[in-house]
Amino acid sequence: MQFAKFVVTRVIAYILVIWIGISGVFFVPRFMPSDPVESMLGRIVSSGAYMEADQVEAMRATLTQAFGLEGTLGDQYFGFLHRTFVTRDFGPSLSMFPTPVNELIGRALPWTLGLLLTSTIIAWIVGNAIGLLAGYKSRWISSRSLEIIAIIVYPIPYYITALILIILFIHINPIFPLFFSVRGDPFSWQFISSAIYNSVLPALSIVIVGFGWWVLSMKALASSISEEDFVYFAKLKGAGEGRIMTAYVLRNAILPQVTVLALQLGAIFNGALITEILFSYPGLGTMTYNAVLQADYNLLMGTITISIIAVATSTLIIDLLYPFFDPRIRQK
């Protein structure tokens, strides 16, 4: 009964987060000075195409309907919610008209999820493993050296790290390509290998920055827990160093790290936005950037909405799995 109440509470919070986030996605672009319909009409006119006045009005009415800008603000809002949750159709893209937004997102989403999930998990695992050793074996020279490296790396922003990698491994030592390009048929070995080859630097820029935080936080937790009475008691019982470090220190230190992992899932899209732009990575970050520059309402709302749902869903999954890590929550 208590677990059912726990699940229901988290699901309600999940729905509220998505609703509030999507409502912000709807209202914020409408306060922008740019008008997507007039922008597209201006592009048509500037390209040299001649249109009669009635043709312009017909085109304006068609675009207004396509972009969901008909009626009052309330009508547009409920229409947007209907398209988002019921039909799951964001309409056509302005910058790539008449390609549907869903099709563009379908192409970019796997790239972003692959980059973010892989780099975040690698940084979390490696950072916590090194932080555990640095905290439990604080007298080791190697532990102190890794801690110093983490202190140096942690404050560096994503884009600075990305620029340093570009200078080192693209311009000075041209090991990796400057522009993202994959070859071969999808799911073929040539395609997979070229995708991994092109994704090394974007993933590495995210891993390096995340690595510093996980090392420092786990090191602080492991150092504190190593001084607890139950750890001394385990040593008096004759437990091995490996068992003490994993079963006693790691098991208690990993709980806050799981919580922070859930919270950081909401921030990884910020780093992905800059990283994807710098490396010309074909993900949601680059697509969102282009949508902002070209005042593409539908594409902007589609990419941000998918990001909100993905982050909220990932956080919900970790939140529901948290009782399996923490027995105190299971008892409650």
pTM beyond 0.75: no
Model confidence pLDDT, tens digit, residues 106-153: 888 788 878 887 888 888 888 888 888 877 776 667 667 777 777 777
Residue 68 has pLDDT above 60, yes or no: yes
Domain ranges of the chain: 107-295
Choice between 97 and 121, residue whose per-residue pLDDT is larger:
121
Model confidence pLDDT, tens digit, residues 304-322: 787 787 778 777 877 777 6
Q: In the CATH scheme, what is the code of domain 107-295?
A: 1.10.3720.10
Please state, as a whole number, how many other Cβ atoms lie within 10 Å of the Cβ of residue 170: 16
Model confidence pLDDT, tens digit, residues 177-214: 777 777 766 777 777 788 788 888 888 888 887 777 78
- Gap between the terminal Cα atoms of the chain: 11
Choice between 198 and 294, residue whose per-residue pLDDT is larger:
198
The residue among 94, 98, 101 whose CA lies nearest residue 35 is 94
Model confidence pLDDT, tens digit, residues 252-278: 778 778 777 766 665 566 556 777 787
